[in-house]
Amino acid sequence: MIGNLPYVVVVISIGLGIYTLMFKRNLIKIAIGICLIENGVNLFLITLGYRKGAVAPIYTYAPSGQAMVLPTPQALTLTSIVIGIATTALILSIAMMIYKHYGTLDTDQVRRLKG
């Protein structure tokens, strides 16, 4: 169990994000919740690639003879971080636009679309 502690951190981060999405009523808080989930997932990917006592997979001036960590999760995480930036930028812009039209960020008051 103690070996799996990093996964537990991942789970807590994702769980907090989902909690924020479900129970908070502020658009900015919802955006923060999405960022929390995203960070949890990125952390999960990076965690998968770790190998005990290994060095970064770069040959320039690397200490010779040591194992290297798995490189693929790092590439995947890089991709997903950039995608996360794009998502966050768009979601914040839309929140700003909603604030401009409705004058509030409360989801209970931002509800013209119903039924």
Q: What is the CA radius of gyration of the chain?
A: 19
The CB-of-19 to other proteins minimum distance in angstroms stands at 6
The CB-of-67 to other proteins minimum distance in angstroms stands at 9
The CB-of-65 to other proteins minimum distance in angstroms stands at 9
Q: How many CB atoms lie within 10 A of CB 84?
A: 18
The CB-of-16 to other proteins minimum distance in angstroms stands at 10
CA-nearest of 14, 20, 15 to 33 is 20
Could you tell me which residues come within 8 angstroms of residue 42 by beta carbon, excluding any fewer than 6 positions away? Answer: 77, 80, 81, 84
Compute CA 75 distance to the chain's CA centroid, rounded to the nearest angstrom.
15
